[in-house]
Amino acid sequence: MKLGFIGTGVMGAAIAGHLLDGGHELFVYNRTKAKTDDLVKKGATWLIRLVKLQLRRISFFRW
């Protein structure tokens, strides 16, 4: 399932990591890009803009 995740601080990154571990295709956004780096290394796709989630018609979570 394609999912988007907004907010990858301490708690958000942990939740997003579990979604990746569950085999979901994950698109992540955070105001500070560095906080998405570990998730991107695990296979997530970083989005430079939130509008990209809407254009791809992806269900997303905000944390």
* Domain of residue 37, CATH code: 3.40.50.720
**Cβ 27 vs Cβ 3: under 8 Å:** yes
pLDDT at residue 21, rounded to an integer = 97
User: Model confidence over 7-48: pLDDT tens digits?
Assistant: 999 999 999 999 999 999 999 999 999 999 999 999 999 988
What is the rounded distance in angstroms from the CA atom of residue 28 to the CA atom of residue 20?
A: 11
Which pair of structure tokens corresponds to residue 5? 């995740």
What is the rounded distance in angstroms from the CA atom of residue 40 to the CA atom of residue 49?
A: 15
Range(s) of the domain holding residue 19: 2-62
pLDDT at residue 4, rounded to an integer = 87
pLDDT at residue 24, rounded to an integer = 95
The domain tally of the chain equals 1
What is the rounded distance in angstroms from the CA atom of residue 17 to the CA atom of residue 43?
A: 10
